[in-house]
Amino acid sequence: MALFKNKWEIKTWAELSASVADSGNALEFRPKHRLPHKLQQGAKASKKVTGYFNRDSIIKTVGGAYDNGYFIYDTGSGLSYTATPRENFKADTTAFLMSSSIAASVKAQISTSFNATSWSPLIVQIDEADTTHATASFTLDVGSIGDASESISIVNASTNATNITLLFAGTKVGGRVYEIEYTLPMETMSFTPNFANRTLHLTALTGSEYTPAEYNNSVIYTPHGGSPQTSSVVGKAVSSGSFVSYGAGYTGVEYSVQLKALGDGNDSIYSYSPKKEFIHFPSGSTVVSQSYKIYAVGDTGRSGTFSLSTRHHISGSSAQALANNGVDYNHSHIFKGADLKNSAEAGIYVVSGSTTGHLASPPITGEVTTFSGTTYV
């Protein structure tokens, strides 16, 4: 088997495809979403001014497992082989040429020579890139007060993921608002909420491997009911939340966020995570605290073990409430800290010095724990 520079197999796409079934090779088919990020957004990436590679132009199946495109990966050498149909390759390269700053007469000369070439039906491209398996997760503060003073950070725990997609929606919004795909391994996506407009604005994309501009250029976002866009999403409102009035006398804007990312597998683990809820409270909202004995949810007699902890609630007034120290045991959201970053645990809460238990219900997946209204005397 001939190798270019002792690593690249010199074969047509048909020969490479046939070699996948050969146990003597370390080749395997992979779907497009596992393309190495350095290939998707590196020097040959079409979204960067300096490149022409377009991952959406690679060969696809029709009515098969790889309708979105696929490539061949060499697990031994780490090489990726992509095949682009001739017409797609010519169109992408011509578009790249036309976007360059060289003189029109030179463009015309290059274009004539390029299009006169007898290209093969499939153009094979070979690239080296790190495709370390990814474990993807994200964290999200569950609550925030005020507009400019707080920002939300969503953290991608893996710096090797080749695709991260976030889905934003308010609880009352039918369908998605924005679906944002991050094709570079950024660690943090920061947002600023606006209570009056019920919106989240993307303010920054940061990470350790690339510049903010490169991260910004790597985003592909799809507005609700729209088509994928590749222009900058920084500064745009990426989500529309829903105003919700709670029985405790305060109002919040609720958002839901989901993550779709690659897991530790070649292609099978690629689904949305459970929804995570974020509640944004208006400026002037007051956080009040209370010390509790916290028993297990099923310990209605409050006879078992308990933890003694202080938990925090949003008051319905901008002034310190007096009744129940600002706690409504029918509706109030419960947080572990005054910063509202983490929802409190479920359990039966007994105010220090009292014997009455108040049930804090286990939250629906991704939502904040609240008092259910059930009490035990």
Q: Looking at the predicted structure, is the pLDDT value of residue 31 above 50?
A: yes
**255 in Cβ contact with 170 (< 8 Å):** yes
Q: Which of 84-88, 131-135, 244-248, 254-258 has the lowest mean pLDDT?
A: 131-135
Candidate from 62-76, 87-101, 120-134 with smallest mean pLDDT: 120-134
322 or 167: which carries more pLDDT confidence? 167
C-alpha separations of 185 from 1, 19, 147, 262 in Å: 35, 31, 28, 12
Q: Do residues 186 and 207 lie in contact, with contact meaning Cβ atoms separated by under 8 Å?
A: yes
In the prediction, which pLDDT does 320 show? 42
- Domain boundary assignment for the chain: 3-128, 143-281, 286-376
Confidence of residue 319 (pLDDT cuts 50, 70, 90): very low
Q: Are 327 and 313 in contact (CB under 8 A)?
A: yes
C-alpha to C-alpha distance for 168 and 175, rounded to whole angstroms: 9
For 196-224, the pLDDT digits (tens) are 888 888 888 877 777 787 777 777 777 77
Which residues have CB under 8 Å from 24's CB, separation 6+?
A: none
Give the per-residue pLDDT at 296. Answer: 95
pLDDT score recorded for residue 84: 95
Position 156 confidence tier, pLDDT thresholds 50, 70, 90: low
Residue ranges with strand state E in 231-335: 237-240, 242-245, 251-262, 270-272, 276-281, 286-295, 306-315
- Tell me which of 57 and 43 has the higher pLDDT: 57
50 pLDDT higher than 70: no
- Residue of higher predicted confidence among 114 and 2: 114
Adjacency order of strands within the sheet including 27-31: 27-31, 70-74, 79-85, 122-128
Terminal-to-terminal C-alpha distance of the chain: 81
Burial degree of 161 (CB within 10 A; 0-12, 13-18, 19+): buried
Q: Which among 347, 327, 344, 326 has a CA at the least distance from the CA of 335?
A: 344
